[in-house]
């Protein structure tokens, strides 16, 4: 049987890996991360993206994809490192979302759930379990 410390260490590793993957995905130069990207609904049922910036400048619709976005001078990421961290925290604070997006992390957090009740650092008796979890999470992710 694993000790609480081993489970906490593994949880921290998985949490770091999940956050790193989220940052890689949401901060990359992809068409879905660009502020200037708009969605096109085609008649054939397929979706696509276009560059809003090009449309404003020269009135033409220019189709945009990940390859074009990776080298575009007008690319502006709609996410920041802080917003990705904030979204990550919100996701793992919601058990249903966490279980859907990060199943391994959700399982580890569930195992630690009982241990979180015993976290008394900087916490008084009136603090709810959710508030304790947020404090614990802030100490880990900070």
> What are the two backbone dihedrals, phi and then psi, of residue 77, each rounded to the nearest 5 degrees?
-70, 135
Largest Cα–Cα distance in the chain? 65
- Partners of 34 in the β-ladder: 77
Distance CA 45, CA 72 (A): 27
Res. 121: pLDDT tops 50: no
Q: Report pTM.
A: 0.70
**pLDDT tens sequence across 61-110:** 788 889 988 998 889 999 999 999 999 988 988 888 989 999 998 888 88
């Amino acid at each position: 049987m694993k000790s609480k410390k081993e489970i906490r260490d593994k949880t921290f590793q998985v949490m770091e890996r999940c956050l790193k993957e989220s940052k890689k995905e949401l901060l990359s130069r992809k068409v879905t991360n660009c502020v200037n990207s708009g969605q096109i609904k085609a008649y054939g049922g397929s979706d696509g993206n276009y560059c809003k910036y090009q449309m404003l400048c020269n009135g033409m619709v220019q189709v945009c994809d990940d390859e074009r976005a990776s080298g575009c001078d007008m690319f502006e990421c709609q996410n920041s490192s802080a917003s990705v961290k904030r979204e990550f925290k919100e996701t793992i604070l919601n058990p249903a979302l966490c279980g859907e997006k990060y199943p391994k992390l959700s399982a580890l957090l569930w195992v630690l759930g009982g241990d979180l009740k015993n976290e008394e650092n900087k916490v008084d008796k009136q603090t709810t379990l959710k508030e304790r979890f947020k404090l614990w999470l802030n100490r880990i992710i900070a």
